[in-house]
C-alpha cells in the first residue's frame, strides 16, 4: 500500500467516525493497461464523496453514481469488473482495452480499518484477510513479498511499506532522512549501538545491535537500501560489509571521495570484499547537488534512491553558478 492509499484509510476512519456509511474498493486484478496497480484502494461514502482513485476518473464517477443510487449498499463484499469489452474500456477510461477487477467492501466494525491504520502508522507491514461471505477481517504481521490474492472465499492483501531502509547511525541527518523516507513509503530502521545516539522517531524501528548483525537480521532483498552515516569505520564498515554481499538495490555511505577510497581499501584488505562488490557502493552518498545542511543532504540521498528504484541513470552534475558562492561541502568533495 503506497502513501496515497494510506491517506484513503485515514479519510475512511474520519468519515466513519462522523457516522457515514463507506464502501471501499480494492483492485484485485488488471488485464492490459491499467492506471493504478493491484492493491490500490478507493473509498466512497454514502453521499458520493470519494477518496483515492483506481482509474482516470470514469470508474470513480460510476462508483459515485451507484453509491448515490444505493446500488453499492450490501451486506457482504462483491466483485465487479470494468472494461471487459472495448466499448466499456472506452466508457470507463481504461487505455488499450484494459480490464480492472475490484472487490467492493461495505465497511463495518468487523472491517478493522481503524486497527489497520494504527498498525500502519507505527510502521508495520500487515496482512489483511477479508472473508468474502461475512465481510469479517483478520489482521496479521506480513512477511515476504507483497500479496493480493482473491478466491471464492477470501481476499488477502498486504499493507504497509513496500520498500525498506536501514540507516546506520542516529545523528541529526538521520532524523531528516528517516522522516522523509517514510513519506516515500519506506519502512525505516535505525541502527546505532551507542545509546546517546538513538533519538525517538515516530514510526521508525530502532535497534542497538552491532550493524553487521542488524543487517543480517533484516534479511535484505531487492527492495532494501542500507545507508551508513556515522563516519565511524568501526560501525559503517561492518554494515557495508554485509549489505554489499546482499541483494540490496542500494548501498551507500557518507563521506568525501578521499574517505570513500580509503573505505574501499579497508573493505578489500580487512574483509576480502571483491571489486564487483565494492563497485556497488554509492559514495559520496546521494545526488551531487551542492547539498550542505542535513535536510539538504537527506533530499539528495532520497533523490538518488528514487532514481535507482525506477532505473534512471544520473549523469555527473556540472556546477553552473547560482545563489551560493561555493559548493564545497565536507561530505561531497
pLDDT in tens, 115-159: 999 888 777 789 999 999 999 999 999 876 678 999 999 999 988
pLDDT 10s digit of each residue in the chain, 333 long? 445 678 899 999 999 999 999 999 999 988 765 567 788 899 999 999 999 888 766 788 889 988 988 887 778 999 998 875 556 555 655 555 567 899 999 999 999 999 999 888 777 789 999 999 999 999 999 876 678 999 999 999 988 767 899 999 998 999 999 999 988 888 899 999 987 776 678 889 999 999 999 999 998 988 899 999 998 999 999 999 999 999 999 999 998 899 999 999 999 999 999 999 999 999 889 998 888 899 999 999 999 999 998 788 888 877 787 654 434 333 443
The model carries a pTM of 0.60
Q: Please, are residues 136 and 110 in contact by the beta-carbon 8 Å criterion?
A: yes
Distance CA 109, CA 93 (A): 34
Which pLDDT score is estimated for 16?
A: 95
Using alpha carbons only, give the angle 311, 314, 316 rounded to the nearest 5 degrees: 160
Question: Could you give the C-alpha distances from 194 to 46, 169, 278, 292, in angstroms and in order?
Answer: 52, 9, 27, 25
Whose CA is closest to 84, among 103, 62, 99? Answer: 99
Distance of CA 292 to the CA centre of its chain: 26
DSSP letter, residue 144: S
Q: Which CATH number fits domain 163-309: 2.40.33.10, 3.30.565.10, 3.30.450.70, 3.40.50.720?
A: 3.40.50.720
pLDDT in tens, 26-51: 999 887 655 677 888 999 999 999 99
Q: Please write down the HEC assignment for all residues of 252-267.
A: EECCCHHHHHHHHHHH
- Domain residue ranges in the chain: 3-159, 163-309
Amino acid at each position: 500500500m503506497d502513501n496515497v492509499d494510506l491517506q484513503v484509510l485515514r479519510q475512511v476512519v474520519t468519515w466513519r467516525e462522523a457516522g457515514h456509511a463507506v464502501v471501499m474498493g480494492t483492485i484485485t486484478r488488471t488485464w492490459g493497461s491499467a492506471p493504478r496497480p493491484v492493491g490500490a484502494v478507493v473509498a466512497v461514502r454514502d453521499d458520493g464523496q470519494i477518496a483515492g482513485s483506481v482509474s482516470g476518473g470514469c470508474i470513480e464517477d460510476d462508483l459515485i453514481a451507484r453509491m448515490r443510487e444505493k446500488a453499492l449498499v450490501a451486506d457482504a463484499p462483491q466483485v465487479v469488473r470494468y472494461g471487459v469489452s472495448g466499448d466499456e474500456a472506452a466508457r470507463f477510461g481504461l487505455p488499450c482495452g484494459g480490464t480492472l477487477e475490484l472487490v467492493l467492501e461495505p465497511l463495518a466494525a468487523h472491517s478493522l480499518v481503524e486497527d489497520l491504520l494504527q498498525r500502519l502508522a507505527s510502521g508495520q507491514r500487515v496482512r489483511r484477510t477479508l472473508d468474502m461471505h461475512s465481510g469479517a477481517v483478520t489482521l496479521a504481521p506480513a512477511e515476504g513479498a507483497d500479496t493480493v490474492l482473491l478466491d471464492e472465499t477470501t481476499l488477502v492483501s498486504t499493507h504497509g511499506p513496500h520498500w525498506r531502509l536501514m540507516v546506520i547511525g542516529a545523528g541529526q541527518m538521520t532524523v531528516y532522512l528517516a522522516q522523509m523516507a517514510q513519506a516515500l513509503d519506506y519502512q525505516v530502521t535505525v541502527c546505532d549501538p551507542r545509546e546517546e545516539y538513538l533519538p525517538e522517531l515516530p514510526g521508525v524501528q530502532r535497534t542497538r545491535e552491532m550493524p553487521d548483525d542488524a543487517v543480517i537480521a533484516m534479511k535484505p532483498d531487492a527492495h532494501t537500501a542500507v545507508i551508513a552515516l556515522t563516519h565511524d569505520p568501526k560501525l559503517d564498515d561492518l554494515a557495508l560489509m554485509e549489505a554489499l554481499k546482499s541483494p540490496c538495490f542500494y548501498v551507500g555511505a557518507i563521506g568525501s571521495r578521499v574517505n570513500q577510497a580509503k573505505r574501499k581499501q579497508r573493505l578489500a584488505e580487512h574483509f576480502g570484499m571483491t571489486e564487483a562488490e565494492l563497485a556497488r557502493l554509492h559514495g559520496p552518498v546521494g545526488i551531487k547537488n551542492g547539498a550542505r545542511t542535513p535536510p539538504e543532504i537527506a533530499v539528495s540521498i532520497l533523490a538518488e534512491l528514487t532514481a535507482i528504484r525506477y532505473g534512471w541513470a544520473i549523469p555527473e552534475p556540472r556546477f553552473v553558478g547560482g545563489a551560493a558562492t561555493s559548493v564545497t561541502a565536507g561530505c561531497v568533495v
